[in-house]
Structure 1
Amino acid sequence: MKEIKAALWMEILKVRRTKIFPISVYFFIFIGIMMGFLMFVARHPEIANRSATISTKTSFLPGSDWNAFFDLMIQLVLTLGVIGSGIITSWNFGREFSDRTVKDLLSLPVPRSTIVLSKLIILFVWNILLSICFVVTAIISGLLLQVPGWSGTALTPFLVTFMMCVIFNSLLITPVALIASAGRGYMLPISFIILILIFTQLLFVGLPDLTFWFPWALPALFSGVAGEALPSPGYISYLIFILTILAGLFGTIAWWRYTDHR
């Protein structure tokens, strides 16, 4: 227990001393504010028509009330969560190699598995925090800009669905951690995240019946924002999802434990 506490504290200090943490928080807050602004513009076509870009973006919105706003927030966090969690995971693991601190890290009297677990725990909490910053800011923006159709009864099921999607995305950092470790840097895991996003979109558009086999499609299927025509996630979807997480976790631990880091 002392070892995991020491490793966690070490990772917390690393995050606190870096600029990427406040930048990521400010970015997610900014996106939340922009979501409220987008709904405001959708309610006022005279503003949207002044800019072709804004008009195009608002034309894709299903509506301008809170139900549409809730759906928009879930859709955005499904994509933003994958990108955000992937970037911070790539940074956390990849920087140890790019900054050449991995040897110093491994020389500490702490098991390598504990180091990996502490990193993943901090990253999981970090990603949850970013998503909370986003949704709180978006809701406050919507209230201040008086988005119509507010319903307290609809808020609870939305928050449950939203947080479940966030948790799903946050758990999928383990394969990214493995690729960042094996690639010894940033580029390979970030390329992997981009590939995952493209492949997920292609599945939903071209092969929707196969989406329940793909773990990164589970959050969208669970939330229902992908549409009623798509299959609901079944036991096999959750099983593949869990196996993917475990494969990434134990693969990362094994890589850190047995690979020659000279």
Structure 2
Amino acid sequence: MPGELAAALHAEALKLRRSRVPWATAGAVLLAAAVGAFFMFVLQDVGRARSLGLLGTKAQLTGGTADWPGYFALTAQTVSVGGLIIFGTAAIWLFGREFSDRTVTDLLALPTSRTAVVLAKFVLLLGWCAALTVLLVALVLVLGALLGLPGWSGGAALQGAAGVLGAGLLTAGLAVPYGLAASVGRGYLPAVGVLFLTVLVAQVLAAVGHGAWFPWAVPALLAGTAGPAAAQTGWGGPLGVLLVCLGSAAATAAWWERADHRA
């Protein structure tokens, strides 16, 4: 099995390297960091932003502070919401492309077990998501330094970066079910529908105070999107995310082992 997994990882990594999707997701991360920096720039001096035409005269900004803890907190919230779309897209592409490109039968003809192929895809997905999250943290450090944000300290930077990385890790785990959706749906579109449905439900449940019971809302709650009071989900929130991740991975492997891929 280790040899099969290594071979499958090599093959999946080649597909990823030859695709433009990694560049698209990296561009989305760059945009997210730039938007966060824009908000920090505006919050530094609202009057200056209005004079430069960056903010309408009647616009009101509430919440958030133009300092390092505020920038890291905003970034963690961005990862927990926008990251689900980026990471989910990566998961959908990894599995859905095999059906859309009609390469699934060729893939299964290889002398590699189906379980090894699925595990390779998920390992690559988690590594991909981790790399994007690290890239985002690096961009935050650079852009925050260029803005001259106050409140810098080694402890604050470590705490802020840990918050962003934690949000990224939880969100990456929640992207695993979209690989199952793309497999069962045999393509992109059904999985995209599931992606948008879970994002919508997560936002609604978080708004009415029941987000802690829905794993897809947990990262956003922990990041403080619904306020400090809602950030305490207890151990049940992260545990639910872990169960969703592991259960979806096991279900995907079982489906690939038993499903008829001739169609």
Same fold judged by TM-score > 0.5?
yes
Equivalent residues of 2:88, 2:176 under 8 A apart: no
Match of 1:241 in 2: 241
- What does residue 132 of structure 2 align with? 130
Taking a change above 3 Å as real, the CA distance of residues 20 and 55 of structure 1, as seen in their structure-2 partners, is farther
Q: What's the secondary structure of 1:105's corresponding residue? A: helix
How far the C-alpha of 1:44 sits from its partner, in A, is 2.9
Alignment of 1:9-88 (within 5 A): 9-49=10-50, 50-52=53-55, 56=59, 59-88=61-90
For structure 2, the 5+ residue unaligned runs are none
> Equivalents in 1 of 2:70, 2:77: separation in Å?
10
Offset of 1:23 from its aligned partner? 2.3
Instruction: Give TM-score scaled by structure 1 length.
Output: 0.91
- Hey, what's the Cα distance between the residues in 2 that align with 1:236 and 1:36? 33
Work out the CA distance in 1 between the residues paired with 2:156 and 2:57.
28
1:13, distance to aligned residue in structure 2 (A): 0.3
Report the residue type matching 2:39 in the other structure: L
The structural deviation recorded for 1:218 is 2.1
| TM-score, structure 2 normalization | 0.91
Deviation for aligned residue 1:172 = 1.6
Higher deviation after alignment, 35-44 or 128-137 = 35-44
Residues in 1 aligned to 2:199 and 2:58: alpha-carbon distance in whole angstroms: 25
Identity among equivalent positions (%) equals 35
* Superposition deviation, residue 226 in structure 1: 3.0
Structure 1 residues 48, 55: closer, same or farther in 2, change over 3 A?
farther
Give the corresponding residue for 2:212.
212
Structure 2 vs 1, CA of residues 41 and 237 (structure 1 numbering), >3 Å: closer, same or farther?
Answer: closer
How has the CA–CA distance of structure 1 residues 237 and 30 changed in structure 2, closer, same or farther, with 3 Å as cutoff?
A: closer
1-side partners of 2:164 and 2:251: how far apart? 29
Q: Distance in 2 between matches of 1:89 and 1:55?
A: 41
Q: For 1:186, which of 181, 185, 188 is the aligned residue?
A: 188
The question of whether the paired residues in 1 share the 8 Å contact of 2:105 and 2:261 is answered with yes
| Contact 1:48–1:55 (Cα < 8 Å) also in 2 | no
* Runs of at least 5 residues in structure 1 that lack an aligned partner in the other structure: none
Provide the C-alpha distance between the structure 1 equivalents of 2:149 and 2:214, rounded to a whole number of angstroms. Answer: 35
Match of 2:114? 112
Q: How well do the aligned residues superpose, as a CA RMSD in angstroms? A: 2.0
- Asked whether the equivalents of residues 81 and 166 of structure 1 are also in contact (C-alpha less than 8 Å), the reply is yes
Structure 1 residue runs of 4 or more that deviate by more than 4 Å after TM superposition:
52-56
Matched residue SS, 1:220? helix
Opposite residue 43 of structure 1, the aligned amino acid is: Q
**2:252 maps to amino acid:** T
**Alignment check: 8 A CA contact 2:9 2:121 kept:** yes
- How many residues matched? 259
Aligned residue in 2 for 1:232: 232
Task: Write out aligned runs for 1:145-160 (5 A).
Answer: 145-160=147-162
Q: How far off is 1:60 after superposition?
A: 4.2
Corresponding residue for 2:177? 175
The answer on whether the counterparts of 2:43 and 2:66 sit within 8 Å (CA) in structure 1 is yes
**Worse-superposed segment, 59-68 or 248-257:** 59-68
Match of 2:260 in 1: 260
Distance in 2 (alpha carbons) for counterparts of 1:14 and 1:26 = 19
Shift, 1:152, TM fit? 2.2
Measured at CA, do residues 153 and 243 of structure 1 come closer, stay the same or move farther in structure 2, by a change above 3 Å?
Answer: closer
